[in-house]
Amino acid sequence: MTNRLHRSARGFASFGRIAAAGKSLEAHRGTKVQIAGHPRHLTCLASLLVLAASFALAGCSASATKTNSSLTPLISLSVSQAPPASLTVGSTAPVSATVSNDLANAGVDWVAVCGSAPNCGSFSPSHTASGATATFTAPLAVPKGNSVSVTALSATDHSKALASSVTVISLVTGVTITQLPPASAPSGSGVALAASVTSDPSNEGVDWKATCGLVDCTPLGFHSADGAVATFIVPGPLQFPDIIGSTVTLTAFATADHNFSALASFTVTDSLAISLAPGPPSTMLTNATATVVALVTNDTTNSGVTWSVSCSNAPCGSVSPLQTASGQAAVFTAPPTVPAPNPSPNPVVVVTATSNVAPRRRFRTICCF
C-alpha cells in the first residue's frame, strides 16, 4: 500500500508537470496531450486532492475564527474603591469601579440590594464614568438581614457585576411603651397606645405589629411617630370568630432598627353596647329641655360617650355636657325655632350618643316637634 501511495504521489507530480507541459505545447503547437496511467492510480490521486483541499479549508477557518475572536475582547469590571464593611444608618461612603475592554465606554451603573427593598440606600450619581466616584448613602433604617449589597454593573453588559456587602448599624439602644393598653378591651373598640425609641437621631418612629391569638392582625401601615399615640381597633367576631376571650399582643419596633422592640397585651371581651335610659321625649317645645342618659356595657375602659345632634337645617339644639361617663346625665335643649323645611309628617332632630372607645358603636334617637 505504501508503494502505491508513493507511486500515486509521483504520478500526481507527473500529472502536474505533464499538464503544465501540455498547456505549453497546446499553446505553441496546437497539439493534444493524453495522460496515461493505471486507473487505480488516478483514483488515489483524486482522493489526495480532496483530502488536501479539506485540510486547507480547515486551516483557513481556524485562522479566521482566531482572528475574529481576537478583535472582540471580553468586558471586565474591577472595584477601584469599595465601601467600608459597615456603615451607620444614613451615613455616606465613596465608591468607584473601572470597566475594561468596553468599546462603548458606557461606564458603570450602581444599585443597592437588600431585604427591605426599595429602602436599601441610594447613590449620587447612580451612573458614573469608568473610574469615577459615586457617593453611597446608607438607608435610614437597618434593613432585613442587617446588610446591603453595594453593586457595580457594566452599563454595556449588566452580566458583568461586582457586589460589596455592607453591614448597616443603627444607634438605637431601646424601645419603651409609654402608654400601655388596658388589661382588657371589647371587640370593636379602639385601644390607644404609644412608644418611644431611645437614641434614634433620624427620628424614624415606631412600627407596630398586632397578633390576635396566633394570627397576625396588624392593620395596614400601622406606624406612629416617636411618642405619638396610635389607635388599634380591636377586631370583631366577624373578622376573627375566636377573638372573644383571646389575647392581643402589640409589639412596638424601632423603625430605624427592628432588632429593638417592646410589647404589651390585653384580653378581648364581648363587644360593647349603648342604650339611652332615658332618652329625649317624642315631642318637645322649642327651647325646652330634657334629661338624657347613655348606658355603655362591656366598656372596660369606662370611656363614656360623646353627644351630638343633627337635623335638616340648623339650629338643631344642643346637649350639655358633650361628653359623659356611662350612666351620667346630660341635658338636651331643643332649638329656639322649629327646624325648617318641615319634613313629613313632623320636623325631627336626631340625638346621638357615640362610644368614645368604639366610635362605630352609637345610639340614635329621634325627637319630634
Last residue of a domain, one of 119, 149, 169: 169
Question: What is residue 73's predicted lDDT score, i.e. its pLDDT?
Answer: 79
Question: What is residue 79's predicted lDDT score, i.e. its pLDDT?
Answer: 96
Question: What is residue 208's predicted lDDT score, i.e. its pLDDT?
Answer: 98
Range of the domain at 103: 76-169
Question: What is residue 18's predicted lDDT score, i.e. its pLDDT?
Answer: 33
Sign of CA dihedral 54, 60, 66, 72: negative
CA distances in angstroms from 271 to 244, 246, 355, listed in the order given: 8, 13, 12
DSSP per residue over 41-65, as a string? HHHHHHHHHHHHHHHHHHHHHHHHH
- 191 lies in the same domain as 256: yes
* Helix, strand counts (H, E) of the chain: 2, 26
- 186 lies in the same domain as 150: no
Closest of 359, 313, 31, 364 to residue 191, by C-alpha: 359
Cell, residue 136: 453611597
- 183 lies in the same domain as 244: yes
Q: Which residues of 157-181 are buried (b: 16+ CB within 10 A; e: fewer)?
A: beebbebbebebebebeebebeeeb
- 249 lies in the same domain as 284: no
Last residue of a domain, one of 245, 269, 293: 269
- 253 lies in the same domain as 319: no
Question: What is residue 253's predicted lDDT score, i.e. its pLDDT?
Answer: 97
Question: What is residue 11's predicted lDDT score, i.e. its pLDDT?
Answer: 43
Question: What is residue 343's predicted lDDT score, i.e. its pLDDT?
Answer: 57
SS3 state at 29: helix
**Structural domains counted in the chain:** 4
CATH of residue 342: 2.60.40
Question: What is residue 347's predicted lDDT score, i.e. its pLDDT?
Answer: 72
Question: What is residue 227's predicted lDDT score, i.e. its pLDDT?
Answer: 96
- 162 lies in the same domain as 210: no
- 162 lies in the same domain as 178: no
Question: What is residue 346's predicted lDDT score, i.e. its pLDDT?
Answer: 67
Last residue of a domain, one of 49, 70, 91: 70
DSSP 144: G
- 163 lies in the same domain as 80: yes
CATH of residue 205: 2.60.40.10
Half-sphere exposure in the Cβ direction for 120 (13 Å, CA): 18
Kindly give the confidence (pLDDT) of every residue in the chain, 369 residues in length, as a single tens digit, with 9 standing for 90 and above.
Answer: 444 434 433 443 443 433 333 433 333 333 333 434 444 444 444 443 444 444 444 444 444 444 444 456 799 999 999 999 999 999 999 999 999 999 999 999 999 999 999 999 999 999 999 999 999 999 999 999 999 999 999 999 999 999 999 999 999 999 999 999 999 998 988 899 999 999 998 899 999 999 999 999 999 999 999 999 999 999 989 899 989 999 999 999 999 999 999 999 999 998 888 888 888 888 888 899 999 999 998 887 788 999 999 888 888 999 999 999 999 999 999 999 887 765 556 678 889 999 887 777 777 776 666
CATH of residue 134: 2.60.40.1080
Model pTM? 0.61
- 116 lies in the same domain as 80: yes
DSSP per residue over 168-226, as a string? EE----EEEEEEPPPSEEETT-EEEEEEEEES-TT---EEEEEEETTEE-PPTT-EE-T
- 93 lies in the same domain as 165: yes
- 160 lies in the same domain as 195: no
- 137 lies in the same domain as 218: no
